[in-house]
Amino acid sequence: MDSSFEDFCLSLPKIELHAHLNGSLSDKILPLLGCPYSDICNYQKLRNIPIGQRNLENVFKTFAIAHKATSSSQTVYLATLNLIKEFAADNVIYLELRTTPRNEEGMSAENYIESVIKAIQDSTNRILVKLILSLNRQHSLEECTNNLNLILKKQSEYPDIIKGIDLSGNPIHGSFHDLKHLFERGRNNNLFTTIHCGEVVNSKEIHEILEFRPERIGHACYLHPNYNGCIQNWNLLKELRLPTEICLTSNIVTGTVDIYENHHVQEWIKDNLPFSLNTDDKGIFNTSLSQEFQIAKKFFKFSAPDLWKISMNSIEDSFANAEEKIYLKMKLEDWKFKNYKFFSQ
């Protein structure tokens, strides 16, 4: 990779809209939380699994390591604080962090949320951070309902930080259908919604998610008819123009896409549909947002102005408020003005 392009990707102010807290913890952060060396080695092992043997199951097992390392209020706080620092060092100027509230011995789900929020408030980095709280599709309806009740309670206390809800978890379990009413309740209470969509082949569920019209969808690997999806869903997406959170490396490591050259984002590019570039679980996948931008340039021939535009469009797709969006757009314009060398080649 040409080093001036690496510099461009690192220096470009970036917008991260799809990052799970626990999956994002790097092997530099885990030791700070007291994570044993053997666990860190297992965490790193995933990266060495040959492509044909990679699958979602391997990845979902790996989350357990990070969860063990963040099982107290103190470690959740430290993890969040250090993670924000890492994103800021990568010149991410706006971060929407998402996480699933958890009860652990000595830490309630409410303590968990409080610890994440305290870290966001204490962070001294030049980065704007918002929180999306996740419902896990593997959990029972009762657990998800309790989780939503708690989220709504905390949202009323921290409306400037808690901006939305997400549906995540292992896509082979559970269904959007059973939890849809909870997302409707969230929406009626001023929470934005983003839904992991089409990580496995399931056009029926994808259709139901699109019909719900979340503010954004995640991944959408199997939505287009060339990717085991169907034309009705693709036409619906084209009509609704829901912004898609694209996570290139994540799709390769989980095996939903075999090689970057075959990534479904190409259909979004062809049809000029809105999308953002994101890391998903940068700790587990050993990536960074700068690296995802470099990969996008390498495989999909994006130019510097194209990547700048992706950052700019992501601001519009974010859950930031109108003033925050203006501030972020000004930062990006200002950076372009000062870095014209990248645009004049």
Q: What are 317's two structure tokens?
A: 């797709």
> Using CB under 5 A as the criterion, what x/- string covers residues 223-262 for binding Zn ion?
----------------------------------------
Region of 17-25, 146-154, 181-189, 232-240 interacting with ligand IMP (CB under 6 A): 17-25
C-alpha distance from residue 274 to each of 86, 212, 302 (Å): 27, 18, 15
Region of 20-28, 78-86, 264-272, 333-341 interacting with ligand IMP (CB under 6 A): 20-28
166 binds, among ligand IMP, Zn ion, none (CB under 5 to 8 A by kind): none
By CB under 6 A, tell whether 54 contacts ligand IMP: no
Catalytic residue (one of 86, 199, 267, 292) = 199
The partner residues of 244 in beta bridges, in order of sequence, read: 217, 275
Shortest spacing between CB 4 and ligand IMP, in angstroms:
32
Q: What are 44's two structure tokens?
A: 């790193």
23 binds, among Zn ion, ligand IMP, none (CB under 5 to 8 A by kind): ligand IMP
3-state secondary structure at position 168: strand
What DSSP state is assigned to residue 104? B
Which is closer to ligand IMP, CB of 25 or CB of 332?
25
Which is closer to Zn ion, CB of 233 or CB of 279?
279
Among 96, 281, 292, 317, binds ligand IMP (CB under 6 A): 281
C-alpha closest to that of 216 among 16, 10, 9, 14: 16
Which is closer to ligand IMP, CB of 22 or CB of 91?
22
Pairing of strands 192-197, 92-99: unpaired
- Give the H/E segment covering residue 79: helix 73-89
- Closest residue to Zn ion, judged by C-beta, is 280
Report d(CA 120, CA 128) in Å as an integer: 9
By CB under 6 A, tell whether 111 contacts ligand IMP: no
The count of C-alpha atoms lying within 13 angstroms of the C-alpha of 91, restricted to the half-sphere facing its C-beta, is: 16
Shortest spacing between CB 257 and ligand IMP, in angstroms:
12
Asked about 199 being catalytic, the answer comes back as: yes
At a CB cut-off of 8 Å and minimum separation 6, what does 117 contact? 131, 154, 158, 161, 162
Q: What are 110's two structure tokens?
A: 């409410």
Query: Which residues 274-293 are close enough to bind Zn ion by CB under 5 A?
Result: 280
DSSP-derived secondary structure for 148-161: HHHHHHHHHH-TTT
- Looking up tokens 């503010």, which residue turns up? 215
Shortest spacing between CB 273 and ligand IMP, in angstroms:
21
Which is closer to ligand IMP, CB of 15 or CB of 97?
97
C-alpha closest to that of 170 among 137, 205, 198, 197: 137
Region of 127-135, 234-242, 273-281, 303-311 interacting with Zn ion (CB under 5 A): 273-281
Residues listed for the chain? 345
- CB atoms inside a 10 Å sphere around CB 329: 14
> Using CB under 5 A as the criterion, what x/- string covers residues 110-149 for binding Zn ion?
----------------------------------------
By CB under 5 A, tell whether 166 contacts Zn ion: no
Which is closer to Zn ion, CB of 73 or CB of 288?
288
Report d(CA 145, CA 99) in Å as an integer: 16
Report d(CA 20, CA 60) in Å as an integer: 12
By CB under 6 A, tell whether 23 contacts ligand IMP: yes
Shortest spacing between CB 2 and Zn ion, in angstroms:
30
Hey, which residues are catalytic here?
A: 199
Could you list the residues that contact Zn ion (CB under 5 A)? 280
Could you list the residues that contact ligand IMP (CB under 6 A)? 20-23, 63, 99-100, 134, 136, 168-169, 196, 199, 250, 280-281
